[in-house]
Amino acid sequence: MLLTIDPRDSRPIYQQVADGIKALIAQGKLAEGASLPPVRQLAADLGVNLNTVATAYRELQKLGLVTISHGTGCVVTSSRTTERSQDQLLRTLRAALTDLKLSGVPSSEIRGLVSRELGTGAKRRKP
């Protein structure tokens, strides 16, 4: 369960943390019931402020993927988000596909990318 943070990425650090954890949940590497590290530990390891990690965890909580409680910390409770409808998610996907096409990525490469992403997720979810 490794998380990579890249300062050259245009997304803010809290977004990278939230997206990284979301990806691990989607791939099944972080199963329901798995504990995430305390805010203090993750912030110290990354060398960021406590608020950065706390914001990332709150974002995951808003999506319904984790619950945060005083005693047990941050725990993965679901592998499905509850915040956005299927229509909204499809709109996001269409926008991303459009961006890829407009930036000149060939359709075959986009298809490969999508199946790679889905393949990893499906493989991890099987057990």
> According to the binding rule CB under 8 A, does residue 60 interact with other proteins?
no
Among 48, 63, 68, 110, binds other proteins (CB under 8 A): 48
For residues 111 and 46, what is the distance between their CA atoms, to the nearest angstrom?
34
The tokens for 125 are 């979810």
- If binding means CB under 8 A, how many residues of this protein chain bind other proteins? 30
Q: Are 124 and 24 in contact (CB under 8 A)?
A: no
Among 31, 50, 90, 96, binds other proteins (CB under 8 A): 50
> According to the binding rule CB under 8 A, does residue 111 interact with other proteins?
no
Among 44, 96, 105, 118, binds other proteins (CB under 8 A): 44
In the complex with other proteins, the residue whose CB is nearer, 45 or 83, is 45
Count of other CB atoms within 10 angstroms of residue 57:
22
Q: Count CA within 13 A, CB hemisphere, residue 7.
A: 3
CA angle 31, 50, 52 (to 5 degrees): 70
> According to the binding rule CB under 8 A, does residue 55 interact with other proteins?
no
Q: Are 124 and 28 in contact (CB under 8 A)?
A: yes
Among 18, 22, 24, 56, binds other proteins (CB under 8 A): 24
Q: Which residues bind other proteins (CB under 8 A)?
A: 1-8, 13, 21, 24, 30, 35-38, 40-52, 73
